[in-house]
Structure 1
Amino acid sequence: MSTAIDLTSLPTPQVISELSYDTIVARQLAAFQSEWETLRQTYPDLPAYDVSMLETDPAVIVNQSESYRELLLLARINEAARARLLAFAFGSDLDQLAIFYDVARMPGETDARLKTRVILAIQGRSTGGPKERYKSVVMNSDIRVESVEVYRVGRSPLINVAVYSTEPNGVASADLLSVVTTALTDENVQLANDEFVVASAVRTVVNLAFDIWLLPDADDGTVTRAVTALQDAWAVEQTLGRDLVREWWTSRLMISGVHKITATAPAADVIAPPSEAIAIGSITPNLRGRAF
């Protein structure tokens, strides 16, 4: 689900220091040599002191030790600075940051989902809109809601709410849709003129079929592993508006031991509207033989 803000695209904040142990060592060594030369002007009997090549020299050992301590201190300062930034916060640090916006972590909720809810809470502050307010309400209603799209069709006054679920194939169950509807129609949420149509975002189930050729030394379980690899990959990629492209899903079948894949169904890419998600149904492989 898009929240209009991609935290991963933000530049590294200036408050985060670039750390380099070698730079610190070199700086401290130069400072030591400068101080030594200043002392030699006062005490001419002091010899020239160049410790740059003497790893066993006490001055070098102390410098390296103190430089490493400084590096650890700077790293800890960086960590503390990151903990106050939404893009970098995680765990209990993120919990503390989120609660400032009246957003508390739900049982079992991931950091990524919690960050999404924080952004939606900020974007949807107005009780009279925008749509991010209703998105926030839906995401807050149940941990099973992975993402949601809120939209109107043309000039229709109805507000469509497409729910993408963590349940099998992303299909929102009747129970989950009921929970979402109850949350949206709460008297403290629903505006007087708003009417909702709540439905599962997964409305298209695509059955796949393909011809497969194996390498001569591939074992008999290769086809099954290829199908599993595809299913696992789609479980990660499947989301609202994600097209099922032939080149993408055939490439996921090209595991070790597979020589060639030719898609036979569907005949073309399956395009998903922004408010819908695609589920993969049956996967039918046709073993055509072995070849190099």
Structure 2
Amino acid sequence: MANAYVTVDLSTLAAPEIIESLDYETILADMLVDLIARDSTYTALVESDPVYKALEVAAYREYMLRQRVNEAAKALLLAFAQDTDLDQIGAGMDMQRLTLTPADDTTVPPTAAVMESDDDYRARIQMSPEGYTNAGSIGAYTFFALSADGMVLDVSVTVPQPGTVMVSVLSRDGDGTAAQPLIDTVTAALNDEKVRPLCDTVLVQSAAILNYSINATLEIYASVDKDAVLAIAQANAQDYANSVHKCGQAPTLAGVYAALFVTGVQNVTLNAPGIQADMVAGDTQASYCTGILLATQVVS
């Protein structure tokens, strides 16, 4: 079963021509040239001159106005839209943002709902054409599974034998193991008569979790703020772990080293029992970082 719909990596797209590259000093210089062309008596303007000050105000306001146009243009583009602007794009595709945790008005103060992130919502909007018909392709099964419940972080679709579709679900909870209620929800969504082709048998399971940890010693230059460097490295390592917490993805040594080798670090040593070699995850598996332990050593 092949996926006929290949998503474009939106993060690699250059900004469209409608997005201007703005520079206040350039705008001010253009205004000065325009003014002198209209009236040559202003050729000797200095910064303290009231006319010069008026041009500075005008240039700044033009800069802000054109920047607002840039922001308005971005708000209409899937790659750049955020928050309610992205909701409007989703509505045009008949796609609502999923609720991860419902609002709770019984708490004091009331607890707001936790909603699907912009990045996850954007990815589903991009895949939404897969939902125009029933399932059948890998992309369609992926779309319908991701849309079944907000707690679905990722899915993989495999074909263990002809006519059988296996959907592996990675949950947002804990290490990603999908609990039975979530599996049941996805199963019901994929077996809806408007979704599942008659010739397919759809099975749903939890993704198998591959645990690992990151244990490293960072050699840090004495001239830098050790705590600040450590905090940045810790955050980078967590971001990297999150980025590979997907079906069929796993960390590599190169990725871990790159995450930890931040400005101020002279060398990185990975220690046991943390990750010591590249990990490989099958389509029905997902990696999960159980912890990040970083030690420091100051070097001159």
Q: TM-score range by the shorter chain?
A: 0.7 to 0.9
SS of the residue 1:170 aligns to: coil
Partner of 1:138: 145
Contact 2:136–2:196 (Cα < 8 Å) also in 1 = no
Equivalent residue for 1:9, pick from 5, 8, 12: 12
Question: For the residues of structure 2 that align with 1:283 and 1:67, how far apart are their CA atoms?
Answer: 49
Q: Letter of the aligned partner of 2:77 in structure 1?
A: L
Partner of 1:119: 126
Partner of 1:171: 177
Contact 1:149–1:163 (Cα < 8 Å) also in 2 = yes
Equivalent residue for 2:201, pick from 180, 191, 195: 195
Q: Which runs of 5+ in 1 are unaligned?
A: 38-47, 216-224
Partner of 1:96: 88
Q: Letter of the aligned partner of 1:49 in structure 2?
A: Y
Q: Letter of the aligned partner of 1:101 in structure 2?
A: M
Q: 1:14: how far off?
A: 1.0
Aligned residues with identical type, % of pairs: 28
Question: For the residues of structure 1 that align with 2:135 and 2:255, how far apart are their CA atoms?
Answer: 41
Question: For the residues of structure 2 that align with 1:24 and 1:232, how far apart are their CA atoms?
Answer: 39
Equivalent residue for 2:167, pick from 138, 154, 161: 161
Partner of 1:205: 210
Q: TM-score, normalised by structure 2?
A: 0.74
Question: For the residues of structure 2 that align with 1:180 and 1:251, how far apart are their CA atoms?
Answer: 36
Instruction: Sort the Cα spacing of 1:138 and 1:25 in 2 relative to 1 into closer, same or farther, 3 A.
Output: same
SS of the residue 1:180 aligns to: helix
Instruction: Sort the Cα spacing of 1:3 and 1:163 in 2 relative to 1 into closer, same or farther, 3 A.
Output: farther
Instruction: Sort the Cα spacing of 1:122 and 1:267 in 2 relative to 1 into closer, same or farther, 3 A.
Output: same
Q: Letter of the aligned partner of 2:210 in structure 1?
A: V
Instruction: Sort the Cα spacing of 1:77 and 1:144 in 2 relative to 1 into closer, same or farther, 3 A.
Output: same
Instruction: Sort the Cα spacing of 1:207 and 1:75 in 2 relative to 1 into closer, same or farther, 3 A.
Output: closer
1:22-171 alignment, distance < 5 Å = 22-37=25-40, 48-52=41-45, 54-107=46-99, 108-127=115-134, 129-153=136-160, 156-171=162-177
Quote the RMSD (CA, aligned, Å).
Answer: 3.6
Contact 1:169–1:235 (Cα < 8 Å) also in 2 = no
Instruction: Sort the Cα spacing of 1:12 and 1:113 in 2 relative to 1 into closer, same or farther, 3 A.
Output: same
Deviations 1:115-151 (A, max 9, x none): 1111111244233543222222111111100111222
Q: 1:20: how far off?
A: 1.1
Q: 1:30: how far off?
A: 0.3
Contact 2:31–2:55 (Cα < 8 Å) also in 1 = yes
Deviations 1:155-200 (A, max 9, x none): 5221111111101111111111111001111112111111112111
The ranges of structure 1 where at least 4 consecutive aligned residues each deviate by more than 6 angstroms after the TM superposition are 209-215, 228-232, 250-256, 282-285
Q: TM-score, normalised by structure 1?
A: 0.76
Contact 1:165–1:172 (Cα < 8 Å) also in 2 = yes
Q: Letter of the aligned partner of 1:31 in structure 2?
A: D
Partner of 1:243: 250
Partner of 1:219: none
How many residues were matched structurally? 265
Question: For the residues of structure 1 that align with 2:238 and 2:255, how far apart are their CA atoms?
Answer: 12
Q: Letter of the aligned partner of 2:85 in structure 1?
A: D
